[in-house]
Amino acid sequence: MTVNVVAERDTIPDSAPEGSATVEDAMSVAAPPEVEVEVEVEVEPAYPYLKRGVDPRELRAQGNTREVGDIRLKRPELVASVTEHGLNPMVSIVNVAPDPVDGALRVLVGFHRTAAAIAVKELENPELLIDVLVHAPGTTRDVLVAQGIENIHREGYTQAEEAGLYQQLSLSGMGEAEIAQTLTRKIERVQAGLAVASNPRTRAASEALPGTDLLTMAQLAEFDGDEQAHQTLLEVLTRDPRNFEWTLGQLRRERAQRATLAEEVARFTGLGYAIVESTSGLPEDCASLDELCTGEDATALDPTGHGDCPGRAVAVWVDRDLEVEVTHFCAEFTRHGHHTIASVKIAQVQERLRADGVPVVDPDTDGVAYLDELLAAEHAERALTATEHAGCPGHAACVEHEYDRPEPDIHYVCTDYTAHGHVLRTARTARPEPDSAFKAGERKRAEENNKRWRDAKTDRRAWLRKYFAERTSPKLKAKDITLPARVHHWLGLADVLAGDYLSDAAPLHRYACTLLTLGESKDHRRELHPITVQLRRKDTTEPRAILIRLALVVGACEQHWDLGYTDKSADASWRRPSEDTRFYFALLDALGYPLSHIEQLVNNPELDHDKWPHLVPADIGDAPAA
């Protein structure tokens, strides 16, 4: 670029005598003329600017995130367009950045266009030159935006690359809303991409599963800090993506459970309560308040009046619905003046017996036998009664209190039946009793597994709601109602193998109506039942009718678990399942429901052996590995 500069030049006249004048004198008598001088000054252009007439072969095209390959095979229409029209900068332009090392222009955006221009110059048009848009040295925000706009719409651009772009733009100072507006993307997608890019485990998973959408991956990122949960979700995404949302909901509920539990534990700890971690295997001097009384009578202690007791303690549990259950205990209750209700009631009964002249004995004493085991004589047809035995010198009683019974039981006995001429009804056989270790192990297993059973019910019902909601939408066409293979076989088996549950649920089939979102029946007339009405509609297709039948079976079985005792009784649920229960969980497995560990025990009880060694018979547990 040429710039005109006016300069001053110092001169001394040639005729000035030697030593007669100084330079200053000379300058004072002869004014210097103005001289116009041309000086070349390099002025840096304003970026970005258009550089015309560039040989496409001189552009550096390395560093693209994918290989262009043979452009003539991949984009023949682009090659034909460049051959005919060149590269029109008003339509499509190659974006470049000057390289600070060797001055070459490095392609930032337009790799396919560059490859097409090179191909055309080598064959169709050796004179071809193109215009390029030069950006400032280094990667600027504008360049990232230009790259992003091109790459987001190109074939093969991965979700991980998109997330990386959002992160780069964010690091350059752009906010979420600005990124979304500039790239014309929904802000939820930008937020999802930023979440994926900023979490190492999820970023790696996105690269491993390039077809999984960013919004899904962002949900996975929620658990980036929980290695086990993250791995669980990743496995579901890999092998059974249909159940990802359900598994995610399950893990969210578990996380909320832990947070609520921690809050409650902290609250009670702050109030001075000890925390009971497990209610099984408690010390003998620790009991729940509903088992304790003051001793004056058998009224259970009230937790509100026990808050000042030094032995105050609680066991806290939070279920999947975030309902908090608190059981109050007293540690070292005898020291604090409390008594068990059972001991008070037993003492009261024993006192009455002694007042009536009946001795109270220990049933384990040698020679003692229960009257219902004895005959008055060898050929007697029935066992002795307390009234018949009252005159016997060995007449006595023992008092026992089972934890699940409201009042103590009185068992009349004979203290020495052989001496008093009585005969055993049948020969006594040794009945092996489980040892104390087995009983303790089963109590702890029942406590933990019953909680898991309740949680599994909440999770299972969330899955069932989603399963039927996806298949009962009015907009869904009959051909799109997908059901498992051999579903008719399962529905036929239900009448035989789940007949008890179906009978109990009839005629209202309350939970089936819930699954079908029909509302419960408000009329006892069966012809007006919502399911009857649905099946009699002319537009109810065969696939939808089969789905309704499936809801009837599933709903009947699920309705059984609304009975209160099934949540707290191991023997009524997972430990000794009925035939109906075994059928139901096999059906759920066939439907694609991912059974939890506790639900798998119904048909495969040995799954618990690894965690609970007391279940393994000694001869098996001690046997060497094959």
Kindly report, residue by residue over 347-387, the tens digit of the pLDDT.
Answer: 999 999 999 999 999 988 888 999 999 998 888 888 899 99
What DSSP state is assigned to residue 527?
Answer: G
What lies within 8 Å, CB to CB, of 512 at 6+ separation is 505, 531, 551, 552, 554, 555, 556, 559
Pair type for strands 374-375 and 324-331: unpaired
For residue 517, count CB atoms less than 10 angstroms from its CB and return exposed for 0-12, middle for 13-18, buried for 19 or more: exposed
Indicate whether 13 pLDDT > 50: no
What pLDDT band is residue 155 in, cutting at 50, 70 and 90?
low
Is the pLDDT at 600 greater than 90? The verdict is yes
pLDDT for res 430: 54
Question: What is the layout of strands, in order, in the sheet containing 59-60?
Answer: 49-54, 130-134, 94-98, 105-109, 59-60
What is the per-residue pLDDT for 154? 62
Cα–Cα distance for residue pair 37/4, rounded to 1 Å: 6
pLDDT tens figures, 58-112: 998 875 555 677 899 988 988 999 999 888 777 678 888 776 557 778 887 788 8
Q: Which amino acid is at 289?
A: L
Which tokens is 602 given?
A: 């119904």
- The secondary structure of residue 305, as a DSSP letter, is G
In the prediction, which pLDDT does 74 show? 84
**Tokens 């066992």 sit at which residue?**
383
Say whether pLDDT at 133 is over 90: no
- Provide the 10 A C-beta neighbour count for residue 400: 13
Integer-rounded Cα Rg, in Å, for the chain is 44
CA triple 409-414-416, angle to 5 deg: 145
What's residue 624's pLDDT? Answer: 41
Looking at the predicted structure, is the pLDDT value of residue 507 above 70? yes
What is the average pLDDT value for the chain, to the nearest integer? 85
Strand partners, 288: 329
Between 257-271, 574-588, 606-620, the lowest mean confidence (pLDDT) is in 606-620
Judged against a pLDDT cut of 50, whether residue 486 lies above it is answered with: yes
- pLDDT for 152 equals 66
Q: Using the structure block, give the residue that is written with the tokens 């018949």.
A: 388
Work out the pLDDT band at 41, boundaries 50, 70, 90.
low
Tell me which of 12-26, 268-282, 336-350 is least confident: 12-26
Structure confidence by residue, pLDDT tens digits, 241-297: 989 999 999 999 999 999 999 999 999 999 999 999 988 888 889 999 999 999 888
- 8 Å CB contact between 580 and 501: yes
Q: Which residue has better confidence, 605 or 105?
A: 605
The whole-number pLDDT of residue 452 equals 95
Quote the pLDDT of residue 5: 39
C-alpha span between 473 and 467 (Å, rounded): 11
Question: Which pLDDT belongs to residue 380?
Answer: 84
The two three-digit tokens of residue 248, written as one number? 């995610």
pLDDT the model gives residue 42: 55
> What structural domains does the chain harbor?
2-40 (no CATH), 49-157 (3.90.1530), 176-239 (no CATH), 257-337 (no CATH), 341-424 (no CATH), 439-615 (no CATH)
pTM of the predicted protein model: 0.69
Report whether pLDDT(620) > 50.
no
Tens of pLDDT along 396-452? 999 998 776 788 999 999 999 889 889 988 765 555 667 778 888 888 999 999 999
Q: How far is CA 174 from the centre of its chain?
A: 32
The pLDDT-based confidence of 31 (bands split at 50, 70, 90) is: very low
Structure-model confidence comparison of residues 146 and 613, the more confident one = 613
The closest of 159, 138, 290, 167 to 213, measured between CA atoms, is 159
Comparing 24-38, 367-381, 455-469, the range with the smallest average pLDDT is 24-38
Q: Could you give the CA distance from residue 220 to residue 195 in angstroms, rounded to a whole number?
A: 9
Closest to 518 (Cα-Cα) out of 526, 475, 510 = 510
Tokens representing 158 are: 């991965």
Q: What is the 3-state secondary structure (H, E, C) of 210-245?
A: CCCCHHHHHHHHCCCCCHHHHHHHHHHHHHCHHHHH
pLDDT band at 585 (very low <50, low <70, confident <90, very high): very high
Query: Which residues lie closer than 8 Å to 444 by C-beta, 6 or more apart?
Result: 278, 280, 281
